[in-house]
A and B are shown apart, each in its own frame.
Chain A
Amino acid sequence: MRTTVNLYCDKGVEFVSKILVVTSGKGGVGKTTTSAAISSGLAMAGKKTVVIDFDVGLRNLDLIMGVERRVVYDLVNVIQGDAGLNQALIRHKEVDNLYVLPASQTKDKDALTEEGVGQVLEKLKEEGFDYVVCDSPAGIERGAQLAMYYADEAIVVSNPEISSVRDSDRMLGILASKSRRAKEGETAIKEHLLITRYAADRVGTGEMLSVEDMLEILAVPLLGVIPESNAVLQASNAGRPVILDDKTDAGQAYEDAVARLLGEERPMRFIETEKKSLLGRLFSRS
């Protein structure tokens, strides 16, 4: 028996929220940097977007987005009914169409519930958001599971490093078995691999796993490759998502990734030390 709820179509439907989770398993690979960049990029492309920090107890997205001084209410306040959704949503000053829903600093791990998160997502849908980006905490515990539970699409962030790749594989397994879509027998979550902290020169000398290696192991379509870049630290220092600086390599790579997410085909950049990227053509998405 199968319920077909085709509320979320793959492409071109503007009026239905698409829920996107940014996840990885391992910590420190760039989930929050990616959530900030991708949500900003979607908003700049004209999509009404909200990015939600699911890292209850260790919120950081507010800092990366540069809105830390404007946090009044948070996700848990909304779930528990202490604040309305619109009181908790922080409108980004620089990027139109972009809102941030911060995580709570509470130590109560049970503050998030499946039902509560579902209700918040439902309200966001009613508010007309095109994209809801869920910034997952590290690990595979409750917070991470709730961040991915309602997702329509998943961006799995991975570094070219063995422990990160292994954790990404585990997270892919969890997406395929424990998400709402898996449990309710709907079409599976659409998965994307985003490789971050890629150093093409070190790949060239055989010190680092290559894009092909990672694709061969994980077998997930490639959304983008973000090069190791000073711009990422500078962006977080300034509280300004790296994608806003379109002169930087990382900013441009994120912009490409957003375009691919929206269905555009773009060759991969920054994956070779020099010359025109041949691999870019090989791995451009069909």
Chain B
Amino acid sequence: MGLLDIFRSRSEDTSAKRAKERLQILIAHERAQGQHGAPHYLPEMQQEILEVIRKYVHVEDDAVKFEVEHNEQFELFELNITLPEKGEGSGRQDD
């Protein structure tokens, strides 16, 4: 019962819920922006990589995800591209 109460109150639009949502967006943004030591050239590099990809495949902005992960010994730059379904996009390398 106690637990249900908690879920109920938290599913409503409370100010704590708004605080959490704002924080999640902000912190995800700050982490991606290199506040955590990600290289300063990252935004520019993202843009250029996106342009190169678009020479071959048409992808939307949100189909490309960049992430920088910090490990104990190295930094990992991860690039994920969701390619369009067959038939969509230009696909000029296909034939």
Contact = CB atoms under 8 A, between A and B. Distances in A.
B2 interface: yes
Given A185-B73, A187-B72, A205 B2 contact: no
Nearest to A178: B37
Interface stretch (B21-29, B40-48, B55-63, B82-90): B21-29
Contacts of B30: 166, 169-170
Nearest to B22: A162
B19 A209 contact: yes
A275 B27 contact: no
Nearest to B74: A185
A177 B27 CA distance: 17
A188 B35 CA distance: 18
A85 interface: no
B74 to A, nearest CB: 9
A204 B9 contact: yes
Contacts of B36: 173, 176-177
A178 B36 CA distance: 10
A185 B10 contact: no
A51 interface: no
B16 A173 contact: no
A126 interface: no
Interface residues of B, number: 26
B92 interface: no
A170 B35 contact: yes
A232 B3 CA distance: 30
A177 B37 contact: yes
B3 to A, nearest CB: 6
Interface string A256-286: 0000000000000000101100100000000
A185 B74 CA distance: 9
A275 B14 CA distance: 23
B94 interface: no
Contact of B26 (A166, A173, A204, A216): A166
A165 interface: yes
A178 B35 CA distance: 12
Contact of A213 (B3, B16, B37, B72): B16
B75 to A, nearest CB: 10
Contacts of B14: 205-207
Contacts of B26: 166
A104 interface: no
B16 A203 contact: yes
A206 B72 contact: no
A217 B23 contact: yes
Contact of B72 (A185, A208, A216): A185
Contacts of B2: 272, 274-275, 278
B52 to A, nearest CB: 29
B30 to A, nearest CB: 7
Given A169-B27, A173-B37, A177-B37, A205 B72 contact: no
Nearest to A273: B2
21 contacts: A2-B73, A162-B22, A165-B27, A166-B26, A166-B27, A170-B35, A173-B37, A178-B37, A185-B72, A185-B73, A206-B9, A206-B16, A207-B14, A207-B15, A209-B16, A209-B19, A213-B16, A213-B20, A216-B20, A217-B20, A217-B24
